[in-house]
Structure 1
Amino acid sequence: MTFISCLMTLLKEKFMKDLFVMFLLLMASASVRAEVTIDNPWVRATVPQQKFTGAFMQITSSTPARLVAAQSPVAEHLEIHEMKMESGVMKMREVPGLSILPGKVVQLSPGGYHVMFMGLKHQVKDGDMVPIKLIFERPDRQNEVVEIKAIARPLNAGSEKSE
């Protein structure tokens, strides 16, 4: 074997090793992604001049994630809220985040967890499609943004699935 052919063989082997290492790194970084899924998103429609409403949905993730924020062009500010009974009184409060465990469904519904829209810029009418950006924090402290459109349901809508 000549010097040149030995060198070419070594370069090919090194290139293949480098390519394989890059492939493994790419696969590892892809597997860290939270892969959040949002099902049945909806927003409660409002009356004229109303400044608040809520968004509801089911959230699942294949890896640990945490819903930490939300944004929408239809409101000045969005917060993650929880409603619960305390000493016989229903109370609502902002929560700093909502943990999403792998494979578990987290239900955002009236009377429980929800995304609160504050400072609505206009009325949300039945049938409107409301854009929402949900911001999730992954275990590596990187954020993942999931953009959805939630249909507005009538004021008296519960958490039942729309047809």
Structure 2
Amino acid sequence: MVRAYKGVTLIELVIVIAILGISAASLIPLGASWVAKTQVEKTQKLLVEAYNKATTEAIKNPNGKLQTDTNPMVAKLTVTNGSSGAEGVINVKASDDSTVLWSTKYPAAVSITLNASSGSSCTAIQLNNNAALIDTTCTGGYTISRSGVSNVTVTAQF
């Protein structure tokens, strides 16, 4: 009388583990690109929120600045990209340029560039009491990019 054993053989177990390994290896790049896209989208939302806070401050104009003043800036949005693994920072400053009204951080792998007209650089967006751009070299646009395993770039206007 032959007795049948129930269970899995070593070969069947190795085949299942190999299939799982191949599936996991094919999903890793998909996960990395999803993380990159999510980081860029979150940073974009933070930047737009900062711009909205700056325009609100500019329209409120708590210090009574006029467009004809020597320095008509009412609100300023600055971006500092992270370096050496440090997170980047977005700040909204008041007209005195030292009081930070709102601040947030974004991932170190993400960088933000404020777009400028050709041949110039734009380090901050300055708004007057009508929430209009003061510095004409700044176009009001931005580019957010993430480098690394997956590269993602978004370019838009405020």
Same fold (TM over 0.5): no
TM-score by length of 2: 0.34
More strand, by proportion: 1
Which structure is richer in relative contact order (CA contacts within 8 A, separation 6 or more)?
A: 1
More helix, by proportion: 2
- Which of the two has higher C-alpha Rg? 2
TM-score by length of 1: 0.33
